[in-house]
Chains A and B, each alone.
Chain A
Amino acid sequence: NAGVMQNPRHLVRRRGQEARLRCSPMKGHSHVYWYRQLPEEGLKFMVYLQKENIIDESGMPKERFSAEFPKEGPSILRIQQVVRGDSAAYFCASSPLSQGVTNEKLFFGSGTQLSVL
C-alpha cells in the first residue's frame, strides 16, 4: 500500500507563473489536508477537502490559491501568479476518517518544495 504521494518534489517557478501541486492520498483515504511550511513558522493549515468538497479553507489566502479533490485523480493545490513569498514546502496529508468517527492518524506525503525566482 503506497503512502501519500506528492509531486513534484521540487518545483521552480518565475514570478507570475502558475504552480500546480499534486497529492495522491493513500488508497482508501477520502480526506485530504494541505499544509504550508514556512521557515521558522512551522506547519500552517491551509485547506481540508473530501472528495469533490471543500470542507474547511480557512487557512487559504483569499486570492490566487485554490484547491480541489475530484472524484477521480489526485488533489490539486493551485497557486496562480506566484510571488516570492509563496516559496515554501507544501505538505499533503490524508486520512480515512469519516465525519463523526475518530481516527488518530494522518499520513503525510514528503512534500513539494516550491521555489519562486
Chain B
Amino acid sequence: AQSVTQLDSQVPVFEEAPVELRCNYSSSVSVYLFWYVQYPNQGLQLLLKYLSGSTLVKGINGFEAEFNKSQTSFHLRKPSVHISDTAEYFCAVRSLLGGYQKVTFGTGTKLQVIP
C-alpha cells in the first residue's frame, strides 16, 4: 500500500516571498515522486518529478523539490512566488504494485499568493 500526506490544505503567501509546500509519503516499495499543479477549471499539469539520481529536482516556473528518503518527504519550494502561481498543488507517488504502475495523490494544497 502507499499513501501521500499533504498536511497544509491552504497556504497564503505574499507575492515575492518564498514558499514551501509539504509532502510526505509512505510506501512498501520504491517510489517515483511528482508534483502537479491545477489552475482553476483546468486539468493537472506536471511541475516536476523525481525518478532517480540527484535528490534536488528542478521543474517548470521556478519550482524545485527535494527528495528526502529518510524523512519520506518531497517538499516543493519556490524562492519567490508570483500572483500567477495561485493554484492547487498535488503531490503524487507512483510505484510498481501488483504488476503495474499505481499512482496515489495527496489531497492537495491551495497556494494563494497575496499581492
Contacts and interface: CB of A to CB of B under 8 A. Distances in A.
Interface in B20-68: 32, 34, 36, 41-46, 49, 51
Contacts, number: 60
20 contacts: A40-B9, A40-B107, A42-B6, A42-B90, A45-B102, A45-B103, A48-B100, A55-B100, A56-B102, A93-B44, A99-B99, A99-B100, A100-B99, A102-B51, A102-B96, A104-B49, A106-B46, A106-B103, A110-B41, A110-B43
A48 B103 CA distance: 10
Nearest to B50: A104
A63 interface: no
A42 B107 contact: yes
A103 interface: yes
B101 interface: yes
A62 interface: no
Interface of B: 6, 9, 32, 34, 36, 41-46, 49, 51, 90, 94, 96, 98-108
Contact of B101 (A35, A103, A109): A103
